Amino acid sequence: MTDSSIKTATQANKAAWEASAPLHATGEDWERLLAAAGKPGFSVLDDSLTDTLRAIGVEGRRAVQIGCNNARELLSLASLGAVPALGIDQAAGFLAQGRQLAEAAKLTPTLLEADIYDLPDGLGTYDLALITIGVLSWMPDLDRFFRIVAGLMAPGAVLVVYETHPFMEVFDPASDTPFEPAFSYFDRGPHISSETITYDGIDHGEGAPSHWFIHTLGDIVSACIGSGMTLERLTEHPYSIREPEYDIYEGRAAQIPMSYTLVARR
């Protein structure tokens, strides 16, 4: 992709996420999260991701999270002995929430507002890189993205990707026929949506348009390997880690893949 087309997508997505941020900084869920961050052993990581990180052995590793949102997952790494060092996101509103959570947790990561395709110099390298739900589909150029991620990793560093399975993008749970494919798995997009971005399963109406990309699992693995990393593990899961409306695809006799864990080493 050209630099201009990448910038068009990332700037649109920044505006969409900035518009979304205030929806997540008020109410009971936010107050519970803020209170939990102040307690020993704070973690929002599910059992699967926790087990993956424990198996790797992350104690003492300095961690960077790419697409950290409000940094709740980055801060959770401290419960496993890792050092939450750097979180990168381009939405200032969510990073402001992350600073509140970090203060409650008495942790001091650097939370950087930046376009991942236009990072400042001098960020250093890290022993653990984390990417979680939804980040990859906001990325217009996957090959370039993984090269940038690899550049943030020290020799021997581990990358963990815990993501929604791209095959889920074929379906539309809000359609009249939610179990029939609604989109092509091979459509490179972008898919432009004007729905307000949330992950609470509630329709918050129209918002700033965002650009979403379907990357096949083959694209993701190839981009990771092409960045110079060695793939160590790829595990597909039959459960959802995304918005609750996708739960209708769980627990079926003919089960589709719904999420995956990828582990690679620099």
- Give the pLDDT confidence of 215-241 residue by residue, as tens digits: 999 999 999 999 999 999 999 999 999
Query: What is the structure's pLDDT at 196?
Result: 66
Q: Please check the confidence at residue 1 and state whether its pLDDT lies above 80.
A: no
Q: How far apart are CA 13 and CA 211, in angstroms?
A: 6
Torsional sign, CA 241, 129, 108, 119: negative
- Higher confidence at residue 63 or residue 189? 63
Three-state secondary-structure class, residue 224: helix
Residue 118 · residue 147 · CB < 8 Å: no
Three-state secondary-structure class, residue 227: coil
Give buried/exposed letters for 146-155 (b at 16+ CB in 10 A, else e): bebbbebbee
pLDDT band at 57 (very low <50, low <70, confident <90, very high): very high
Strand 83-89 with 126-132, pairing: unpaired
Q: How far apart are CA 256 and CA 259, in angstroms?
A: 10
Q: How far apart are CA 194 and CA 173, in angstroms?
A: 17
- Give the pLDDT confidence of 165-214 residue by residue, as tens digits: 999 999 999 999 999 999 999 998 888 877 766 655 555 566 678 899 99
- Give the pLDDT confidence of 86-119 residue by residue, as tens digits: 999 999 999 999 999 999 999 999 999 999 999 9
The encoded tokens of residue 233 equal 């593990």
Say how far residue 143 (Cα) sits from the centre of its chain: 17
- Give the pLDDT confidence of 138-173 residue by residue, as tens digits: 999 999 999 999 999 999 999 999 999 999 999 999
Q: Please check the confidence at residue 264 and state whether its pLDDT lies above 90.
A: yes
Q: How far apart are CA 243 and CA 12, in angstroms?
A: 21
Query: What is the structure's pLDDT at 25?
Result: 86
Q: How far apart are CA 111 and CA 88, in angstroms?
A: 6
What share of the chain has pLDDT > 90, as a percent? 84
Residue 59 · residue 81 · CB < 8 Å: yes
Distances in Å between the Cα of 108 and the Cα atoms of 39, 59, 130, 159 are 16, 17, 17, 22
At 216, give phi and psi (nearest 5°): -65, 160
- Domain 3-265: give its CATH superfamily: Vaccinia Virus protein VP39 (3.40.50.150)
Amino acid present at 227: S
Query: What is the structure's pLDDT at 199?
Result: 58
Query: What is the structure's pLDDT at 193?
Result: 79
Residue 258 · residue 239 · CB < 8 Å: yes
Q: What angle do CA 124, 232, 146 make, to 5 degrees?
A: 45
Domain definitions of the chain by residue range? 3-265
